Amino acid sequence: MSEQKPDYRICGRCVMDTSDPEIVFDVMGICRHCHGFDEQVRTAVRSGEDGRRALSKLAEKIRRDGRGRDYDCIIGVSGGVDSTYVAWLARNLNLRPLAVHLDNGWNSELATTNIARALRTLGIDLQTHVINWLEFRDLQLSFLKASTPDAEIPTDHAIIALMYSAAVRVGVRYVLTGYNVPTESHMTNAWSQGYYDWHYIRSVHRQFGSVPLRTFPHMNLWTYRRYLRKISSVDVLNYVDYVKAEAIRTLETELSWKYYGGKHFESIYTRFYQAYILRRKWGFDKRRCHLSSLICSGEMTREQALAELQEEPYPLEKQLEDRAYVTKKLGITDEEFETIMQLPKKTYWYYPSYGKLYRNPFFRTVRRLRHSLLGGAPTTA
């Protein structure tokens, strides 16, 4: 564990700390993420019998709106716990989903096996988009050279774009996501943001890349807004009493699914990036987010989380094996990797983005004038 600074603080309820530069504590020493958790539970989570009724009603609407079509909803599958449980839940609700998977070249063998076995057992069709590796490698290297803590943004953006485009192509109105409050409520923008921001992704690539992104799945701001007018995104796991440990047992029992040992460890690159690069370069340990969510949802104690944080995310020798594999696959030397690790730290706000555009005083004035003329309150991006 990294050495603590004199002004170091940690939340008294969860394990989020001042490694999040934007963290705020109340007078009782409880962080804003915990307050956010409570608010999301109050407004976004439907539990118990109320959740079951709401989910049953929602599933009925999805089935009704999808009549006469091959599918009635889209799900994204990575092979991880959340997305696989969404697939299991969708079939148990008698929905007819089309599963969409992005193969970005970093799948572990276990992920490939888990996806194939689960979807075959559930009888769900799969559409896999195999990314152009030369383009994607150049984009990943661009983000490493940009020296921001959100080098996973290109993958996340492509997955979202693929799900929405698939929904339009097959004519369905619903995308079921794996986002859920019980395990993902404590995410912080300071560690990663810009998932929907094609302007940001393109800006980074223009500065550091060299291979044209001719086939990379993406959506600009206007495309995304068109999608939102046609398609509803449903965080279906917020309608059930979602308990991670129970979900894992269900998947293991009913789908012969196997656990990876960590959140998002189905991807070799994600596993290495979160466990090695983020922790060593930035001092960000994403386990704090995941464990804090589990603390607030009652799945583990704060003491258990603190003990886990004292350990490596996975064996150090395996991390070094992953480092050798990742550098070789990216086509860089160990020295070049070290140079990247030593680059000055930057953030999302350092590069052109939709976020910066929306903060621009001129743009905000134009938006206010436009909405005053058209009527209604200004919307956000």
CA distance 230 to 171: 10
H or E stretch at 59: helix 48-65
Token pair listed for 280: 């060593």
379 pLDDT band, cuts 50/70/90, is very low
Average pLDDT over residues 274-289: 96
Token pair listed for 180: 């859920």
User: Does 335 have pLDDT greater than 60?
Assistant: yes
CA distances from 167 to 63, 84, 95, 282, 368 (A): 15, 19, 15, 37, 33
Q: Which residues pair with 235 in a beta bridge?
A: 177
Q: Select the more confidently predicted residue: 218 or 264.
A: 218
Lowest mean pLDDT among 21-25, 259-263, 333-337, 348-352: 259-263
Q: Which residues pair with 174 in a beta bridge?
A: 232
Q: How much is the pLDDT for 375?
A: 46
CB atoms within 10 A of CB 272: 24
User: Does 163 have pLDDT greater than 60?
Assistant: yes
157 pLDDT band, cuts 50/70/90, is very high
Find the DSSP H helices in the chain: 32-44, 48-65, 81-92, 109-122, 133-146, 153-170, 181-184, 198-208, 221-230, 244-255, 268-272, 287-296, 302-309, 316-330, 334-342, 354-359, 361-374
CA distance 325 to 338: 15
Domains in the chain: boundaries? 47-342
Q: How much is the pLDDT for 369?
A: 53
DSSP state of 237: G
Average pLDDT over residues 347-362: 83
How confident is the model over 35-75, as pLDDT tens digits? 999 999 999 999 899 999 999 999 999 999 999 999 999 99
What does pTM read for this prediction? Answer: 0.90
User: Does 371 have pLDDT greater than 50?
Assistant: no
CB 99 within 8 A of CB 77: yes
Token pair listed for 316: 């150090």
CB 299 within 8 A of CB 243: yes
How confident is the model over 14-46, as pLDDT tens digits? 999 999 999 999 999 999 999 999 999 999 999
Q: Is 97 helix (H, G, I), strand (E, B) or coil?
A: strand
| Domain 47-342 belongs in CATH node 3.40.50 | yes
Concatenated DSSP letters for 129-189? Answer: EE--HHHHHHHHHHHHHHT-S-TTHHHHHHHHHHHHHHHHHHT--EEEE---HHHHTT--T
User: Does 262 have pLDDT greater than 80?
Assistant: no
Q: How much is the pLDDT for 199?
A: 96
Report strand pairing: 125-130 vs 232-235.
Answer: unpaired
